[in-house]
Each structure stands twice: as structure tokens, then as C-alpha cells.
Amino acid sequence: MKPSGIAILGSTGSIGCNTLRVVEAFGSDRFRVVALGAGRNISTLADQIVRHLPELVSVETETAAHDLRAQLFERNLDLPRIVIGESGLVKVATHPEADTVVSATVGAVGFVPTLRALEAGKRVALANKETLVMAGELMTRAARASGAELLPVDSEHNALHQCLRGEKRQEVRRIVLTASGGPFRTKNKRQMREASVSDALRHPTWNMGDKITIDSATLMNKGLEVIEAHWLFGFEADQIGIVVHPESVVHSMIELVDGSVIAQMGITDMRHAIQYALTYPERHSCELPPLDLTALATLHFEAPDPERFPCIALAYRALRKGGTLPTVLNAANEEAVRAFIEERICLTDIPRVIELAMDQHTTQPALDLETVLNADREARLTANVEIEKLTKPSDLLAEHSV
């Protein structure tokens, strides 16, 4: 059997690197890496090229391409075709030999390439929740039109996909996303307001990139996942719940109409979800250790606090309103998170920026790419205006840099 072709958007990030570990565990008889899309982490990308010999590689800038050529030349390696920017990522996503495209970029940069992959009829293993938040209607419509498969890699949605296998839709009352609660689950509002970037990046159970980890600290990641779950599984806002589960052993659950609950459990390692998406509908043995139930002393579940984590309510508002409002939610969040990481605003300013951007937006139907991209651009401009108003004074900046 011919090996299945794999293309990865965001190959040097956490999901991208773990995808390549899964590919390596199966061997070249099962999978072949045909294209890699990365940003500026040229050293890691060069190592990946040496190991997997893709035909096509995308980087963010011409400078990054120059650096990559230099590194590969030093290793006496034949150069793959190197392309640049968003158009380069689109070429990776639509590579003719790619059967599966792993969409693992962070933020809106993966939106257009993922859409083009679906339009091309590729199986998309989706780890970039922002694409469905920005334009779930466009994405799902494209998948239906081309016959493309859209399989979730996020641990929560991957768990829901597993729980829903074989269940009749009309017999499922609701779906429940679990949240670790992040580093501020037990902190008060003052502690959250005074939190440093390093405080927010100390996730208790998962090892992720900076943006996703900050989203976990504000629980915006769970709000984004509510919107993503709507488009993946067809449940309305009132049928999608959130429960805080600090052990991160139960990845998500479904509740049936008779009150039964089915949960998917596993260790906290993204390779399990990645392998599931790459091999679906088959299941294969995995190099990861199984979950040791005897080692679990207790499992805790609690409701998220809406006062300390207002991002959740903002996400539900965006989902219920629909149209371009989820695009605005996502864009404003990305800009606010970036400002927090740059120590220009406080952690608790993030939901304020998002809400102000949403309040100023006139929602339109998200029927085409131009409308979505325009809403994204306008929301970023609005968010940055609000960020400037909230910029922390120099004495507070100095306090946070200590």
C-alpha cells in the first residue's frame, strides 16, 4: 500500500513536532511527509527536512528562506522547493501528494490555508481552533462541497469525536468540554490582575505554545472550543457545557437523553489525539503508556467562575449572535494576548479589550472570505486602539518585569 502523504502547517510548533513523532513511530510504510509549513524557527525546520525529506517547504519571510538554504547547504542536502508567506502555506496545504493536512499553526494565519485544503478535498486534522471560530460556516460548507474530512486534534474535541462514534445524534442531550482551570483556577481577581507573563505561562498539566497557554489562563481557550464544537458536531450553544477538571484525565464527555454520561479518558499527551486523527477510522497500538487508573487518587469537577473568567461568556455571546462576531472575538483576543505577552496590558485587560471590540462591531453574515477577513482586520484595529488606552504605566511595567 502506498504511504499516506502528510502535509503539516506549523511543523515546528508543539503539535507539528508531535505529529512528526507519530509519523516516525509508524515508519515510512504508513506515512510520508510531503510538505512542511513553518515560520521563523529555521533550525528546527532544517532538522525536520533532514529527517523527513519533504518536497515542499514554506517559511514566513524571504530572510528565513535565505537562512534555511544556508543551513541545508552546510549539511550537503538537496534543497526542497521553498515558498514564502501565506501563499506558501496555501501551497503546502494543497500539495497534490498530501492526503492529510495537519493544521497546527497558531491563530488566524492558518485560516486561508486550511480553507484551501478543505476546498481541495483533503482530510484536515485540525489543531487550529481559530479557523472554525473565525469562519465555521465557510469551513464546513467547503468540506461538504468537496467531500473533505474534518477531524479534530484538540484533545477535547478529539475526545468528543470518540465519544460520539456510534451514537445516534437524537439520543445525545449535550456535550461537555473539560478545562484544567489553568494556572489561576484557585487565584482571586486581584492575583489575576497582578499576574506576570511567567505566572500565566505556568500551565499545570499541558505543555503548549505561549498563545494557547495564555488562552488557558483566561479560559478563552474553552470559549473558543465551544464555538469550534458547534461547527464540528452541530450542537447549539445551550447544548455545549464546560466543566473544570484540574487533573485533565477526562478530556471531554457526552450526556445522553437517559442521563448516561460517556467520557473519554487518557494521559495528557497530544500524540494520542494526533494518531487518532491520522489513522481514523482505524485504531492502532500506540507507543504511549496507557492510563493507570490505580494511580488516580481522586478526580475533581467544578463549574467555571464567570466573574474571574469572563471570556467564556463573551464566547457564548459570539456563538449565539453568529455571523462575523466570532471573527471579532478571535481577532481581538489575539491582539490582546500579544499585548499581554509584551507586558503592555494586564491579564485581566484581555477580556475588556475583547468586549469593547465586540461592542463596537456591526455583525454581518459570514458568507464569504472577504467579509470574514474585513471583520478580522477591523477588529484588530479596534482592539489595538483600546489596548493603547489600557497600556500599563511605567511603574506597573517595571513591577511585572521583575
Grid cell 437524537 is found at 170
- Residue-wise pLDDT tens digits, 173-210: 999 999 999 899 999 999 999 999 999 998 766 666 78
CB contact at 8 A, 99 and 4:
yes
- Residue ranges for the chain with pLDDT beneath 70: 107, 204-208, 392-402
Instruction: Provide the pLDDT for residue 402.
Output: 42
Pairing of strands 150-152, 250-256: unpaired
Among 309, 78, 398, 114, residue whose Cα is nearest residue 231: 114
Instruction: Provide the pLDDT for residue 110.
Output: 85
CB contact at 8 A, 37 and 64:
no
CB contact at 8 A, 3 and 32:
yes
Instruction: Provide the pLDDT for residue 105.
Output: 87
Ordered structural domains, the chain, with CATH: 4-153 (3.40.50.720), 157-267+298-401 (1.10.1740.10)
Instruction: Provide the pLDDT for residue 401.
Output: 45
Instruction: Provide the pLDDT for residue 71.
Output: 92
